Amino acid sequence: MKSYFKKNFFLKKKKKINIGDKSMSHRSILYSLINKKIIEIFNLLESNDVIFTINLCKNLSVNIYGPINNYLVINFLKKKNIINKINFIGNSGTTIRLSLSLILNNSFIIGDKSLNKRTMYRVIKPLCLIGYIIQCKKNFFTPIIIFKKNNFGLKYNLINISSQIKSCLILNSINSFIKIYIKEKKNTRDHTERKIINIKNKNNIFIPNDFSSISFIINYLIINKKILILNFNFNKFRIGYFDFLIKCGIKIYFFKKIIINNEHNVKIILLKLKLKNNVIFSNIISRMIDEIPLLLIFLINYKKITKIYGLEELKYKESNRFINMYNNLLLLGIKIIIKKNYLILKGGIFHNNFIFSKNDHRLFMSFYICKKELKISNLENILSSFPNFIFIFNNKKNSFYVYK
């Protein structure tokens, strides 16, 4: 039975926003498998996906205490006995891609109904070239069983633009002391490289705010012409949506720039926006692929004809976002044309309707911040990446909420 949630309007005000970066939360926890020391993690994102990563590490004999109030302690020095080798990772594709090279022999990995329909070919292929013996369902679907782990070294051309596959191979190389050479077609997120350089001399890890989550607040502020001060992680491979807003003419003032744990962190104030662009090319889309649903919601508020290229990667997310966004926008009366890997947005008469978020957290949150009153399916989707979404955006009992 599908659940429905009726949206209201929101604005976060007067209170500090702490939303730990999900990608960095995953990586910080998995480093415990290759670093034999005690690590403290602050501002950890307590989402379902991150919890599954924590449980996976616990299954691999690591002692973990927490998370409590976004704080976690990992003690690798004191190992515990492995109870079982069956690892359930829910709908967290990030967990399985990053950790597959670190999981023990004869381990069984399975996801939920949604994850079991997503192919893991891109991560299984290079591991098989290294010498892993892996069994999985047809079309490289989970469940996955790792029978044996050999390490022969590898020179791998990373054709698919995926930082998760790159991180998986890097973690395997460090853990096994085998040289792996990776050539990227395009530069991808470098959280793993930055963290490895930094963590050797650090026992404390502070995770900055996630721009992917902050972008929902930014989007609402721009559409509703509000002003707010925000701080977040400013990694150049994560801020494609921010660069798009700059090119569109948004006025932003930076009044703090610092480096924390080898990651750039900024504090900004948003001022105003005048939309200029009507064509968005694939070179910027690759750095904002997670924000595409949000981008479409942003564009339909300005009723301009816009072409967006380079959307092929959307088909391999938590759902087929390429098709699902198309279908939902049609339900809202938006004129949209889709081709193989691009779409043309023509605007239209926006009206109320039901939205089917298809077990995809970003679809739910993107449509939630529309100006219209909508009913959106599967509220529980937000637990995978932004568990405080409703608390921040729809709570009349605290200063987060502002009436329309």
Residues 13 and 30 grouped into a single domain: no
* 401 located within any domain: no
Q: Which of the two residues, 93 and 198, has the higher pLDDT score? A: 93
User: What's the mean pLDDT when you consider all of the chain?
Assistant: 80
Last residue in a domain, options 156, 183, 206: 206
Collect all residues with Cβ–Cβ distance below 8 Å to 401 and sequence separation of at least 6: 10, 11, 394, 395
Give, for 73, the enclosing helix (H) or strand (E).
strand 71-75
Condensed to tens digits (0 to 9), the pLDDT of residues 322-350 reads 888 888 888 888 888 888 778 888 877 77
Q: Which of 73, 82, 7, 28 is nearest to 404 (CA)?
A: 7
Look up the CATH number of the domain holding residue 153.
Answer: 3.65.10.10
| Domain extent for 148 | 22-206
pLDDT(7) > 50: no
pLDDT(5) > 60: no
Give, for 57, the enclosing helix (H) or strand (E).
helix 48-59
Q: Residue 266: what pLDDT?
A: 86
Q: How many structural domains comprise the chain?
A: 2
Provide, rounded to the nearest whole percent, the portion of the chain with pLDDT above 90. 4
* 404 located within any domain: no
Report residue 163's pLDDT band, with 50, 70 and 90 as the boundaries: confident
Last residue in a domain, options 150, 181, 206: 206
How many other CB atoms are there within 10 angstroms of residue 68's CB atom? 10
Place of tokens 């987060």: 400
Rounded distance between C-alpha atoms, residue 249 and residue 374, angstroms: 29
**DSSP, residue by residue, 342-372:** EEEEEEE-----EE--TT-HHHHHHHHTSSS
Q: Are 360 and 320 in contact (CB under 8 A)?
A: no
The DSSP bridge pattern shows strands 4-6 and 63-68 to be unpaired
Residues 315 and 291 grouped into a single domain: yes
Q: Residue 44: what pLDDT?
A: 92
How many other CB atoms are there within 10 angstroms of residue 275's CB atom? 17
Residues 90 and 186 grouped into a single domain: yes
Q: Residue 1: what pLDDT?
A: 39
Report residue 18's pLDDT band, with 50, 70 and 90 as the boundaries: confident
Report residue 402's pLDDT band, with 50, 70 and 90 as the boundaries: very low
* 399 located within any domain: no
Query: Cβ-count burial of 157 within 10 angstroms (0-12 exposed, 13-18 middle, 19+ buried)?
Result: exposed
Rounded distance between C-alpha atoms, residue 160 and residue 228, angstroms: 37
Residues 141 and 278 grouped into a single domain: no
Average pLDDT over residues 62-74: 89
Q: Residue 71: what pLDDT?
A: 92
Tokens of 30: 């998995």
Give the ranges where 249-347 is alpha helix by DSSP (H).
Answer: 282-285, 292-300, 321-331
Residues 215 and 187 grouped into a single domain: no
Last residue in a domain, options 191, 206, 221: 206
Provide, rounded to the nearest whole percent, the portion of the chain with pLDDT above 70. 87
**By three-state DSSP, how is residue 156 classified?**
strand
